[in-house]
């Protein structure tokens, strides 16, 4: 699969009730193109998981830009972002020999 998996860790600015409802609807541990959240009990710190399609010339910068766009599409106020990018094209799978 030609894709990047991106983890964005950050903090939320204060969330109102409608923003908390959006957050709860997207809380999961799966990597999806829309992205999912996990967060602390007070919904102040979060991890956002996103899978970004990779074109032949795409790099880590393109992955970060795609993940940030997915994060911002949720409309939740955020700050202090840190990124971890995994290029699935570079992962080698070793098969057990018989």
Whether 25 has a pLDDT exceeding 90, the answer reads no
3-state secondary structure at position 23 = helix
List the one residue out of 8, 11, 13 whose CA is nearest residue 86.
Answer: 8
**pLDDT tens digit string along 64-78?**
999 999 999 999 999
Contact 76, 68 (CB under 8 A): no
Sorting pLDDT into bands at 50, 70 and 90, what band is 81? very high
Q: Can you tell me which residue has the tokens 């609807």?
A: 25
DSSP state of 88: G
pTM: 0.86
pLDDT, tens only, 39-67:
988 889 999 999 999 988 899 999 999 99
- 3-90 maps to which CATH number? 3.30.70
The answer to whether 15 and 59 have CB atoms below 8 angstroms apart is no
Residue 36 and residue 27 in contact, taking contact as beta carbons nearer than 8 Å: yes
């Amino acid at each position: 699969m030609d894709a990047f998996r991106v983890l964005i860790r950050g903090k939320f600015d204060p969330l109102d009730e409608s923003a908390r409802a959006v957050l709860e609807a997207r809380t999961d541990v799966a990597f999806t193109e829309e992205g999912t959240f996990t967060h602390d009990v007070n919904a102040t710190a979060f991890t956002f998981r996103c899978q970004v399609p990779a074109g032949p010339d795409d790099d880590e910068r393109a992955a970060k830009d795609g993940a940030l766009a997915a994060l911002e599409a949720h409309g939740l106020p955020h700050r202090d972002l840190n990124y971890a990018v995994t290029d699935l094209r570079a992962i080698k799978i070793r098969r057990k020999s018989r």
